[in-house]
Each structure stands twice: as structure tokens, then as C-alpha cells.
């Protein structure tokens, strides 16, 4: 069966590549200017052409033989696509096979698929889901008791219209919840995120939730609702983007474009250029400027809920050379900010100026390919952010930090390694009234996976294909400089070291997978040893497919923490079993059993609890969804929990819930 995708046909061009003169007749393609979706293609063939000659003809659409789907109606060979043809240009070819094996091309035509004049493509799709849930039985739900009948749902909408040099796309998320008190805007039906993008040649306009692609100290991970416009200049390898974005996360219909609140809006411009046209990757330059206001601030030193107003700029230079093996990236940024805090005890900042710099260098001697057996790369990173540097569009950037980091990665025949060492210090401005803390973090990750099937009868043939992992990290925090006297920052000192490692092994066979892991975390406080602790953990898990109808997966997890403060132990043990049932193609389910025990011999807060939990869900796929036709699932689910407190028996609790669910899913596609 051929796969052809589209809607309406407009004749683009009619060509004859070669005609077999020996046959003595010429076919013609009958195409009106505009055709409806799935309308037939008709090729005129003289009625006096014999059946024997017709049996030597073949019709190809986009190099796919569709002869079997061609019928004859009077003087026409008629072909009706089994699916709508795809947007754009298509090729139709009629050939004749002679008795001596030679092939004659009787006719060749190209045509273009469009919806109407000037429009190449028009699509709409939606994934709609609704779930009605009724609580059939319950015990000890607590107050306030939730509704016994609830509904949830959602829809992901997408649309596209395109012409010769322009394109408009849009997507939107709709969210439904009958319990409006659980929704952000107290609405049963509301909008989540949306984005409309329009593009004409090198000009682009975006409306809705999006982020500006350029990443810098001034703006990173800043996806907000708003408006942006970009213009590219191919002759000078440049682009300019202007934007107006909301500074807070919002959703819902009521906020529109999201830029109506001047107290929570940021305005900015980003300019990008690759000045070396012969080798654009050799140098990339960008400059960002933004200005705005916000009611909240990020991780600035000493700041709480506040009104923030200010401006930030940054300049980035990025270079890739030596066939993409060597990369350098450098950035500098500056900000001027007013921060008025809500707490009168905090200090307001007026015209606070701060700077930030960042540098990255990486070396990758070769690219990864199918023939690569050994790959490695290495790099170094440096950044310094002043205590007063703030950017409204980068609220998660930590202030008052100097970072130095080295990293190394390697991969060789199933063995991979990642190694990094970093040092971070604060009090960048050398303020004598504040202490200086140095944090070091070292990390090693090793993984090995067998890349070839083991020999029959070998150890790994019995256990399954292995995958081993080792993780180690060491973190130290030390006060290397104390604050001057008579300040609120005077402390007894800080010198903490945390060592963590984990060993893991997993094995996989056709029907059986299993694994185990051991971890240990040791925290040492060298100033106050009573704050030290050691935690060990074990994890054993497996999954076995007994048959095509039944799979069972048990696991045991145990964690034990020893506290130096009172030499007490806190231990948690969890035993669980999951069973999956595939009764028929339409009926299946899952049952989970869980037993959790927690004990502590601490004199201050002793604990001895035991919790048993049973949960289940069975699903009947009543009607399978199809394009533009809804599907329905019926399911029953429930949870039973028995919590026993052996120290305070008054806290014992038995609770359960049983639900019946009807789920509808509807995929929609219109072209």
C-alpha cells in the first residue's frame, strides 16, 4: 500500500520527458486547476488502445508503483489515492514495457498539492482526553471529604497554514478539572500554555509562551508568555530579536498576551552576528539588553520578597575551530538594579551595580561515528558573579559566587567515564563583615555495558547481559575566612565533608531482568562532630515475564542512618511486589503490594511504624480510538492502607478507596 499524504491539487507544470513513437499514441493528464481532497487523477488513453497494450503499462507516483490501484473508465486511466497526497510537488510517470525488455516512458508530469491558490498546506490536529471518576467505596478519607464524582481532561491543539514564503503555526493546551479549587485560576476549563508563530521569509513573530533562543548571563531558561519579533539578514549573517515578556509564570485565558502588567514585564533586544561568512562557526557574537520590573527576585544576597526594577546587558563571543574540535566561549555582563523589599528589616538596594563574567573552553579530538571505538573530550569552566548582579530574566542565577571547574568524559567499547572537579567560593566583593565559604565538589561516574551477545553456556549467558555502574562524589564546605566582629554573620565556623558512593549491577535476559545496588553516604562535621551521620542503602529488584499473560516484579529496599549526636539508628525497609496481568488484548491490569517498616531507637524521637498498602487497577479497552473517532476505556482502581504505630497506637489508621473510571480519547486530524 502506498503512503500518500494531502488535500487539494493545483497543476504546477505539465511535461513530457520522452514518448515511445513506436506505440503510436500519446497520453494526456487531465487535471483541473483545483481539485478536492482525495479527488482522482485521470490520464486520457485512446479507446482504440488494445488490452494487450494496456497490460504492458505501469503508473508510478513519486517513484512508487501504483498500477494495481488504477482502473479504466472509458478513455481514461483513473487513479484514486488511498490516502491524501502530501503537500508540495509530486511526480507522475506512465511507462510501457516492451516484449524485448526495453522500457518506454510514455508520459511524465509534475504537479503541486495545495489547499487553494497561494496556500500550500493547512493542517489541524488535536489530542483530546476526558476521564470521569466515581468513588464507589471509601473509609477514613479525612476532612474535607473530596467529591465522589469528578472529571479531568485536557486537549493538545495544533494548527498550521503555509504558503510559498510564509507559514503560521499554533499550539495550545487546554486543561479541565471539575474541582476548580485545585486549579491555579479557580476555573474548571482553562488554558495552559499556547504559542502562535508566524514567519515570512526571514521575519518571525511569536505570541505566547516561549523563550528567546540566545542563552546568556542576562537571560537563561526564561520561558514566559509574551511577544517577540525576529529579523534575519542573510547577507551579513545577522539576526535581531526584540521581545516583551511577562516576568512571572502565568497561564489561563484571562492574561491574554501576558504583557498588560507593567509591574511584571521585561523588554529587551538580542543582536546576533557571525561575521566570517566563509566559516560562520569560527566566530559567533551576540549582545543582549533588557529592562523591566518584577515583584519577586531570585537568589540575590540578603533579598526576600521584593519589587525589583533594573536593566541588564551582556556580550557573548563563541568560537569553534579545528573542524569543531576546539571551542571557546567568553561572556561579560553588567546590571543596575533597584530592589525594595517587603520586610522593613531588610536593606533596600538603590542603583545597585554588579558585574558577571563567564568562560568556557572544550576540546573534542574527534566526532562520534559508527566506526568510533574510543571517544573523549575535556574542558574547563570559570565564572564570577558579583553579590549585587541581578537579572530579571535569569532569576535562578546564584549571586556572589566564583566557580572553577574541570571535566573529562570518555567512552570506549561499552565503558564510559565522567570525571569533574569544581571549586566555588562566595564573598566575591571581599566584604569583611561577611565570612567566606569555599565549596569543593569532585565527582566520578563509571558505566560498563556488554556490547556483544555472550557465548552460550558462559557466565553472562546464564545471568543475562550485564550493565555495571559506579558513582562517587565528595563535597566539602569550609569557612576559610571569618567575618569581622559585631556582625550577624559570626558563626562557630564551618567544616563539613560528605562522601557518597554507589555500586550497581543490572542483568537482562529475554524474560528476566534483575539487579542490585549498594550505596553509602558519610557526612562528617569537623567543627561539631555531633552533627555527623552515616547512611547505607541496598536495593534488590527483578522483573520476570512468566508468560505472555503474566509478569511479576519484586523489590527490596533498605536504608539505615546512624546519627553521631545520640548514637541512634533510623532504619527503613520496603518490600514490594508488582504483578501485571494481560488477560486479553483488551483487558489487563496491575496489582501492587507494599510493606514498609520504619524504626528509630532515638531517645528524643523514637519510632516504630508498619504500613501495608495494596493498590490495583484493571482496564478494559472498550473501543479503540481512531482518527476523528473517539475511543473509550473502562477501569476500576483502588487503594487499601493499614498503618500501625507501635509506640502511639492512637495513630493507627485503616483507610481505603475504590474508583470506577470512564476515559475517552479522541485524536483529530484535518487536512
Rounded to an integer, the average pLDDT of 234-238 is 91
Q: Is the per-residue pLDDT at 410 higher than 80? A: yes
Mean pLDDT of 232-248: 93
Structure-model confidence comparison of residues 323 and 501, the more confident one: 501
Of the candidate ranges 70-79, 553-562, 640-649, 650-659, the one whose mean pLDDT is the lowest: 70-79
Q: What is the pLDDT of residue 303?
A: 40
Write down the pLDDT at residue 371: 64
- pLDDT exceeds cutoff 90 at 650: no
Q: Which percentage of the chain shows pLDDT scores above 90?
A: 54
pLDDT at 500: 97
CA 641 to CA 618: how far, in whole Å? 19
- What is the pLDDT, as a whole number, of residue 414? 85
Q: What is the mean pLDDT of the chain?
A: 86
CB contact burial 575-610 (16+ within 10 A = b; e otherwise): ebebbbeeeeeeebbbebebebbbbbeeeeeebebb
Write out pLDDT tens, residues 338-351. Answer: 876 655 555 667 77
pLDDT at position 620 over 60: yes
Give start-end residues of each CATH 2.60.40.10 domain in the chain: 9-117
Report whether 237 contacts 274 (CB < 8 A): yes
In this prediction, residue 147 has a pLDDT band, given cuts at 50, 70 and 90, of confident
Q: Residue 663 has what pLDDT?
A: 97
Sheet with 41-44, side-by-side order of all strands: 28-30, 41-44, 76-79, 70-73
pLDDT in tens, 2-41: 333 333 333 333 333 333 334 567 788 776 544 555 677 8
pLDDT per position as a tens digit, 39-80: 778 888 877 777 777 788 888 888 888 888 888 777 788 888
SS3 68: helix
- Please report the pLDDT score of residue 116 as a whole number: 62
Give the pLDDT confidence score for residue 299 in this predicted structure. Answer: 38
Higher pLDDT, 54 or 291: 291
Instruction: Name the percent of the chain lying above pLDDT 70.
Output: 89
The pLDDT tens digits of the residues spanning 542-590 come to 999 999 999 999 999 999 999 988 889 999 999 999 999 998 989 999 9
Average pLDDT over residues 591-604: 93
590's CB contacts (< 8 A; 6+ apart) are: 578, 579, 580, 581, 616, 617
* Three state DSSP letters for 309-357: EEEEEEEEEEEEECCCCEEEEEEEEEEEEEEEECCCCCCCEEEEEEEEE
- For the residues 203-218, what does the mean pLDDT come to? 91
Q: Domain 9-117: give its CATH superfamily.
A: Immunoglobulins (2.60.40.10)
**Over residues 259-286, mean pLDDT:** 93
Amino acid at each position: 500500500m502506498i503512503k500518500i499524504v494531502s488535500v487539494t491539487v493545483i497543476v504546477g507544470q505539465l511535461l513530457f520527458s520522452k514518448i515511445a513513437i513506436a506505440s503510436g499514441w500519446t497520453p494526456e493528464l487531465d487535471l483541473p486547476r483545483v481539485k478536492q481532497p482525495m479527488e482522482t487523477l485521470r490520464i486520457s488513453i485512446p479507446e482504440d488502445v488494445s488490452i494487450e497494450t494496456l497490460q504492458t503499462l505501469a503508473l508510478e507516483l513519486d517513484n512508487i508503483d501504483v498500477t494495481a490501484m488504477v482502473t479504466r473508465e472509458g478513455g481514461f486511466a483513473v487513479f484514486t489515492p488511498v490516502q491524501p497526497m502530501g503537500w508540495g510537488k509530486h511526480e507522475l510517470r506512465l511507462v510501457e514495457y516492451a516484449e524485448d525488455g526495453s522500457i518506454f516512458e510514455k508520459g511524465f508530469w509534475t504537479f503541486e498539492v495545495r489547499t487553494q491558490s497561494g496556500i500550500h498546506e493547512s493542517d489541524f490536529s488535536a489530542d483530546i482526553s476526558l476521564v470521569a471518576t466515581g468513588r464507589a467505596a471509601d473509609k477514613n478519607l479525612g476532612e474535607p471529604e473530596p467529591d465522589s464524582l469528578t472529571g479531568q481532561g485536557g486537549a493538545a491543539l495544533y494548527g498550521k497554514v503555509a504558503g510559498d514564503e510564509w507559514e503560521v503555526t499554533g499550539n495550545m493546551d487546554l486543561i479541565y478539572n471539575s474541582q476548580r479549587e485545585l486549579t491555579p485560576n479557580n476555573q474548571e476549563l482553562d488554558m495552559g500554555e499556547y504559542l502562535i508563530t508566524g514567519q515570512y521569509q526571514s521575519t518571525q513573530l511569536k505570541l505566547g509562551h516561549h523563550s528567546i533562543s540566545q542563552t546568556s548571563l542576562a537571560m537563561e531558561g526564561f520561558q514566559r508568555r509574551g511577544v517577540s519579533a525576529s529579523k534575519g539578514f542573510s547577507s551579513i549573517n545577522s539576526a535581531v530579536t526584540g521581545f516583551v515578556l511577562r516576568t512571572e509564570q502565568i497561564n489561563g485565558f484571562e492574561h491574554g498576551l501576558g504583557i498588560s502588567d507593567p509591574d511584571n514585564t521585561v523588554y529587551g533586544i538580542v543582536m546576533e552576528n557571525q561575521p566570517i561568512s566563509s566559516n560562520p562557526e569560527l566566530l559567533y557574537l551576540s549582545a543582549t539588553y533588557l529592562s523591566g520590573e518584577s515583584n519577586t527576585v531570585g537568589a540575590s544576597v540578603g533579598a526576600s520578597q521584593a519589587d525589583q526594577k533594573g536593566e541588564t546587558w551582556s556580550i557573548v563571543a563563541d568560537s569553534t575551530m579545528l573542524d569543531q574540535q576546539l571551542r571557546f566561549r567568553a561572556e561579560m555582563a553588567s546590571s543596575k538594579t533597584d530592589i525594595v523589599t517587603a520586610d522593613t528589616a531588610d536593606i533596600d538596594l538603590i542603583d545597585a551595580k554588579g558585574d558577571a563574567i563567564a568562560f568556557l573552553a572544550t576540546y573534542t579530538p574527534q566526532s562520534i561515528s559508527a566506526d568510533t571505538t574510543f571517544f573523549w573530550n575535556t574542558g574547563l569552566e570559570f565564572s564570577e558573579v558579583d553579590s549585587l548582579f541581578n537579572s530579571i530574566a535569569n532569576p535562578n542565577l546564584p549571586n556572589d559566587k566564583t566557580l572553577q571547574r574541570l571535566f573529562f568524559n570518555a567512552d570506549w567499547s561499552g565503558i564510559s567515564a565522567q570525571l569533574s572537579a569544581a571549586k566555588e567560593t562566595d564573598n566575591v566583593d571581599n566584604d569583611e563583615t561577611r565570612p567566606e565559604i569555599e565549596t569543593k565538589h569532585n565527582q566520578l561516574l563509571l558505566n560498563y555495558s556488554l556490547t556483544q551477545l555472550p557465548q552460550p553456556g558462559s557466565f553472562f549467558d546464564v545471568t543475562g547481559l550485564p550493565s555495571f555502574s559506579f558513582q562517587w562524589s565528595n563535597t566539602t564546605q569550609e569557612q576559610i575566612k571569618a567575618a569581622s566582629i559585631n556582625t550577624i554573620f559570626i558563626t562557630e565556623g564551618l567544616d563539613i565533608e560528605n562522601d557518597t558512593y554507589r555500586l550497581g549491577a543490572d542483568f537482562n535476559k529475554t524474560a528476566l531482568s534483575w539487579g542490585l545496588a549498594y550505596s553509602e553516604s558519610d557526612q562528617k562535621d569537623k567543627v561539631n562532630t555531633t552533627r555527623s551521620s552515616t547512611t547505607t542503602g541496598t536495593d534488590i529488584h527483578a522483573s520476570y515475564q512468566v508468560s505472555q499473560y503474566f509478569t511479576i516484579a519484586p523489590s527490596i529496599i533498605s536504608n539505615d542512618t546512624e546519627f553521631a549526636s545520640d548514637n541512634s539508628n533510623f532504619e527503613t525497609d520496603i518490600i514490594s511486589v508488582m504483578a501485571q496481568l494481560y488477560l486479553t488484548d483488551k483487558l489487563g491490569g496491575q496489582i501492587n503490594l507494599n510493606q514498609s517498616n520504619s524504626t528509630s531507637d532515638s531517645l528524643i524521637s523514637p519510632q516504630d511504624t508498619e504500613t501495608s498498602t495494596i493498590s490495583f487497577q484493571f482496564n478494559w479497552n472498550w473501543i479503540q480510538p481512531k482518527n476523528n473517532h473517539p475511543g473509550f476505556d473502562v477501569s476500576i482502581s483502588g487503594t487499601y492502607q493499614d498503618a500501625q504505630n507501635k509506640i502511639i497506637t492512637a495513630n493507627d489508621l485503616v483507610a481505603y478507596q475504590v474508583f470506577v473510571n470512564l476515559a475517552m480519547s479522541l485524536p483529530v486530524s484535518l487536512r
